[in-house]
Amino acid sequence: MAQVLVADDSAFIRLYLARLIEGQGHVAILAEDGAEAVRQYKIHRPELVFMDMAMPNMDGLSAVRQILMEDPEAAIVAITAMDHGSAVQEALRAGVRHVLTKPLAEAAVVDTLHRFLSAGR
């Protein structure tokens, strides 16, 4: 059983991902913005992070950079509604390991969970 941090300002997305994560036998830790995601990461050190890129208080890219400064091995998956190449490339340059675009497909989320949690960190 792994811990997975979900950071998204949309309550619907947080609960949707939590349901999928818990349905796979893992524990979901929820954060409403990037600042809370950084705090939760420092407390829980989850095995995987799903990080929305557009959030209030601290955007996802800033949170990704702070988490990676704390733990360069952190496995972070970006979540973005912006599917154009520049947003994806910016997230990858920041250090995310994978990008999922909204609307999130259940199969893609479950596949991402299996991919990152079975491989270890």
Domain ranges of the chain: 3-119
Q: Which residues contact 101 (CB under 8 A, 6 or more apart)?
A: 79, 80, 81, 82, 83
pTM of the model: 0.94
Q: What pLDDT, on a 0 to 100 scale, did the predictor assign at position 119?
A: 54
- What values do phi and psi take at 80, rounded to 5? -145, 145
- pLDDT digits 0-9 by tens, 58-70: 999 999 999 999 9
Tokens 């949707």 sit on residue: 16
CATH of domain 3-119: 3.40.50.2300
Mean pLDDT confidence for 99-106: 93
Confidence of residue 112 (pLDDT cuts 50, 70, 90): very high
